Amino acid sequence: DLVAKERDERLDAEAVAKSKETFSTLGLEHETFAPALRRIAAIDEALAKSVEAVLVSADAQLAEAGLLKEFGTAKAVSGNSVYEEAKTLAKSLVETGVVKTIEQGIEKVLDSNPELAKRYYKETN
């Protein structure tokens, strides 16, 4: 029925937003994962909470370890920096579905724009 479908779409959208915020470091396909976890919670809430706890822990450990950090991003960068320019372009690649993460987007932007890459590496190293 239409009301149930609209409710599911709204709940799925909320779940995706929460997933993106909660599991920002993990390379999850939030649009697929979040609705699935929401449906698992409807069937077995304890199981869903266990899965979520494991992923929260993994996300935190990954973020703390910095394993997915791009080379050179540890150096502080200023507001109107080449990094910010690359990040802005990368965000548009994520939004259009070309890449899944900002980091992948930055890599793709730098690969396709040698001049920007040269300025980026000079700024971050």
* pLDDT tens sequence across 95-105: 778 888 888 88
Q: Which residues of the chain have pLDDT under 70?
A: 64-80
Which of 36, 65, 94 is the endpoint of a domain? 65
DSSP alpha helix (H) spans, 25-113: 30-43, 45-65, 82-95, 102-112
In terms of domains, do 47 and 16 share one? Answer: yes
One domain, residues 8 and 58:
yes
What per-residue confidence (pLDDT) applies to 68? 53
**Domains in the chain, number:** 2
Domain range spanning residue 19? 2-65
Residues 21 and 48 in one domain: yes
Rounded distance between C-alpha atoms, residue 59 and residue 73, angstroms: 19
Numbers of helices and strands, H then E, in the chain: 6, 0
Pair 59, 95 in one domain:
no
Q: What is the predicted pLDDT for the residue at 78?
A: 46
Do residue 57 and residue 86 come from a single domain? no
pLDDT at 76: 43
Q: What is the pTM of this model?
A: 0.51
- Kindly state whether residues 36 and 87 are assigned to the same domain: no
- Determine the pLDDT at residue 70: 54
